[in-house]
Amino acid sequence: MMDIPHLDDLAFNQITAELIADANMLAEQVNERRPLPSDVIANIQAELLGERVFNSNAIEGNTLTLRETKSILSTGSIIDVGRKREATEALNLGTAINQVQDLVAKREAWSLLDSLTSVHETLMTDVLDQGAGRIRSDRVMITGAKHQPPRPEKLDFLLEKFLKLLEESSEAEPITLATWTHWGIARLHPFMDGNGRMARLWQDLVLFGGKLSAAVIRQEDRSEYYASLTSADDGDFNSLTQLVTRSLNRTLQIYVNAQREVDELKDWAVSIIGETNARVDEKRRLEYLRWVRQMEQVKDAFQRCATQLTNASDGSVEVQVNGFDILDQPTWETLRSSGSASKTWYFWVNFRQGKERVQFCFFFGRHWYSDADRQVDGIGPNACLLISEQRGDEPAVRISELPNCPITLREVLVVNDRVARKRFDVGDESDVYDLNVDPLQIARDFMQEVFLRRLT
């Protein structure tokens, strides 16, 4: 008899974990720049509705084109009597998507059997004879599938268990929960038809409930999709979670692109009519929030690397990251305008290898112009992360001021809304910049240098 794994029992590899983290950061980027103009939102939602209906139906064999699907959804009419069933599938799925959207704020309804059957009835009316909105009482077989759906006599118990686990998972990470929910409905196959579409509907319900967006699995990814469901049947949820996350990221990117277009138009209008003080404040606030987001990614990267190193050790190595609050906006403004500030610690990284210990303080200061800046556009006045080293009871000293220091990292800063790194190139004996660098790369390189060149 099949069983339904608990969410806590799912294990993910590093690729899956980082994809989920990237998706959540992209969602934060979208949410922090809301609201978009209502007409822009309406256009995005209409586009996404067409994409969701077309791809979900196409995966199940519906031959309508994307253009035909959008036309049916916009007009509400069946354009070809000879393809009435396919047109009805499109209309029904569009209505079901809106019905599911009404459930987003009703968390208790996600795990109700009545919610499932009600949406299924909407989905399959005039498509599935006698079966719309009804849990199957017959056995079904999936051609070519390694694992077959449970027999009807086992279905009620398994469905009740699945819905109970869904009810108890309110604190779960949304992407993980959405993937698990998708798999659960697809695996149980509670209806005679429409199970794949129901699985994708409930997946998106969970994602919207987690303040994310729809994950549109494309019909061209159909083979990968079915293979990933089979892997999940065998207990490996990595490929399915990665597919859902990549699909979600494509949707989130639509919002990011729309926001950028709106920002560009705002900037153009300001250049024509002149920028008011309110606009200056708004722009500066947005710049600060973007800077905060990037710096929080840096601290998170160091924390994750520290955890991995400590967990991988036999106990002889330990890395701890102790964090402090990020700069408030007034202090950030002070540092940018050549002022100074005290107690700007952001996080300490403490290393222990055997009996040897060393710690580094990452603190905020003002970026000072140097010859290396000539080769980089967009630096300007900046608040950056600086690093000092402390051993034992000795006073902390800036790494750049330590003689023959083997640690090459000098500054972490934000350039053109992306994380950049300033480091000392030992070969050229000069400072160089790495632009648009992954915060995880900064953390990995720094910690590797500490272990290989400082803790010896």
Pair 19, 158 in one domain? yes
User: Domain holding 84: CATH number?
Assistant: 1.10.3290.10
User: Does 195 show up as a binding residue in the annotation?
Assistant: yes
Residue 274 forms part of a structural domain: no
128 has pLDDT over 70: yes
259 has pLDDT over 90: no
Pair 285, 428 in one domain? yes
Per-residue confidence band for 379, with pLDDT thresholds at 50, 70 and 90 = confident
Residue 62 forms part of a structural domain: yes
User: Does 196 show up as a binding residue in the annotation?
Assistant: yes
d(CA 178, CA 181): 5
Question: Phi and psi of 26, rounded to 5°?
Answer: -65, -40
82 has pLDDT over 80: no
Residue 220 forms part of a structural domain: yes
Residue 261 forms part of a structural domain: no
Residue 269 forms part of a structural domain: no
1 has pLDDT over 70: no
On whether the pTM is more than 0.85, the answer is no
456 has pLDDT over 70: no
User: Does 193 show up as a binding residue in the annotation?
Assistant: yes
Pair 34, 141 in one domain? yes
Pair 350, 393 in one domain? yes
Residue 270 forms part of a structural domain: no
Which pLDDT score, from 0 to 100, does residue 246 have? 94
Mean of the pLDDT values across residues 40-63? 92
Our count of domains for the chain comes to 2
Q: Which of 120, 182, 189, 367 is catalytic?
A: 189
278 has pLDDT over 70: no
Pair 56, 129 in one domain? yes
| Residues pairing with 432 in the sheet | 423
Nearest to 70 by CA among 57, 82, 85: 57
189 in active site: yes
Residue 262 forms part of a structural domain: no
Pair 284, 423 in one domain? yes
User: Does 200 show up as a binding residue in the annotation?
Assistant: yes
Percent of the chain with pLDDT over 90: 65
Pair 235, 297 in one domain? no
C-alpha distances out from residue 112 to 1, 107, 135, 183, 222, Å: 24, 10, 13, 17, 29
For the residues of 324-372, what is the DSSP string, one character each?
Answer: -PPPPHHHHHHHHTT---S--EEEEEEEEETTEEEEEEEEEEEPPP-GG
d(CA 342, CA 364): 9
User: Does 226 show up as a binding residue in the annotation?
Assistant: yes
User: Does 433 show up as a binding residue in the annotation?
Assistant: no
The two structure tokens encoding residue 128: 């599935």
Which pLDDT score, from 0 to 100, does residue 342 have? 86
Pair 312, 206 in one domain? no
Pair 206, 296 in one domain? no
Q: Name the more confident of 382 and 269.
A: 382
Per-residue confidence band for 203, with pLDDT thresholds at 50, 70 and 90 = very high
Most confident of 70-79, 220-229, 308-317: 220-229
Q: Which domain holds residue 306?
A: 279-454
Pair 220, 313 in one domain? no
Mean of the pLDDT values across residues 65-80? 86
242 within 8 A of 24, measured Cβ to Cβ: no
User: Does 198 show up as a binding residue in the annotation?
Assistant: yes
Residue 271 forms part of a structural domain: no
Q: How many CA atoms lie within 13 A of 357 on its CB side?
A: 12
Per-residue confidence band for 268, with pLDDT thresholds at 50, 70 and 90 = low
